[in-house]
Structure formats: C-alpha cells, structure tokens
C-alpha cells in the first residue's frame, strides 16, 4: 500500500510516494543516513529493523529515488520512532511531514499505544515538526548522543482515541 503526497517545489508540481522500505533500499538508506547524522546507523541495524515483524519502515520516493525514511519499532505501550531522515537536497519540502502523516495513518487503529522519540535538544527544527504532530516534551536523557554527549529531549504523543460511530 502506498500514498501519493503532492507538494510544490521550485520546479513545479511533483509527487512523493510513501511505501514500505525493502532490503533492496539499504544502499540508498545508508547514503541518506551518512549525510544526516554524525553517528549513522550501520547497514545491519537497518536490515534488522526492515525484517523485524514488529517494525514499520516507510520510505518517501520521488520516482525510484529514495529521498527520506522513518523507522518505527512497536513496543508494549508505544510506537518508538527510532530513526527519521530526509536527504539534504529534499529538506523543507514536506517529506518528513508526509512520513509522519503516513505513520500516524498506518497506526491509527492501535488505540492503546502512544508514540515516543528522542531528538537532540539543539534540533529546534525537528522539535517544532514533532510538536506540530502532537508530540509533547516529556523529559531529557542526559548525554544521550555518543558523538558529543548532547542531551536528548524525550517526546511523547498520546494514542488517538477515535469516537465510535
């Protein structure tokens, strides 16, 4: 199952398709990861998440080109957003929003699990994005990031309870 997201950029209209990631996407995932994070995940970490039945791994594709992804693990009481990244050339074009929207749509019927994530306290742009999607600041993990011992902001979003109808 995939969803088309329409967005406008400087060259006009284009479509971004959100669909499940596959092992054949690993090289493209690694490229985006290396360009996005000072301490990137390994190929084997991604392969493990892509094959784990309790994970959701979604990619944002412009044609056949992967431009972003989100990796989420299911736990007893929460969906943990483990990793989200967008290729630097495709940032500020709604790709991360499209990925989060698709994640929330995909998990909408799971009314007992909330959502959690960690984000660098200095990453104000990402924090604002998460807050737009209902995440709240819930705590701090001191020295969480191994590259510079930066703190991580813990964010939480309650499950969505839909009215019976």
Q: Which residues are catalytic?
A: 118, 130
| Residue 100 DSSP SS3 | helix
β-pairing, 136-141 vs 114-120, is unpaired
Q: How far is Cα 61 from Cα 120, in angstroms, rounded to an integer?
A: 26
Q: Are 71 and 54 in contact (CB under 8 A)?
A: no
In the sheet with 12-20, reading across from the earlier edge strand, the strands are 3-9, 12-20, 55-62, 65-74, 78-86, 114-120, 152-157, 136-141
Beta bridge partners of 155: 117, 137
């Amino acid at each position: 199952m995939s969803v088309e997201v329409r967005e406008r950029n400087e060259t006009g209209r284009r479509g971004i398709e959100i669909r499940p990631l596959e092992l054949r996407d690993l090289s493209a995932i690694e490229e985006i990861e290396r360009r996005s994070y000072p301490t990137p995940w390994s190929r084997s970490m991604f392969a493990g998440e892509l094959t784990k039945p309790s994970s959701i791994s979604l990619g944002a594709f412009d044609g056949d080109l992967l431009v972003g992804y989100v990796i989420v693990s299911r736990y007893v009481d929460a969906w943990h957003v483990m990793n989200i990244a967008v290729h630097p050339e495709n940032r500020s074009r709604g790709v991360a929003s499209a990925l989060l929207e698709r994640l929330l749509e995909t998990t909408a019927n799971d009314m007992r699990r909330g959502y959690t994530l960690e984000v660098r306290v200095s990453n104000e742009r990402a924090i604002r994005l998460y807050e737009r999607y209902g995440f709240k600041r819930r705590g701090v993990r001191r020295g969480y990031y191994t590259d510079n011992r930066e703190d991580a902001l813990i964010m939480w979003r309650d499950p969505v309870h839909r009215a019976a109808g």
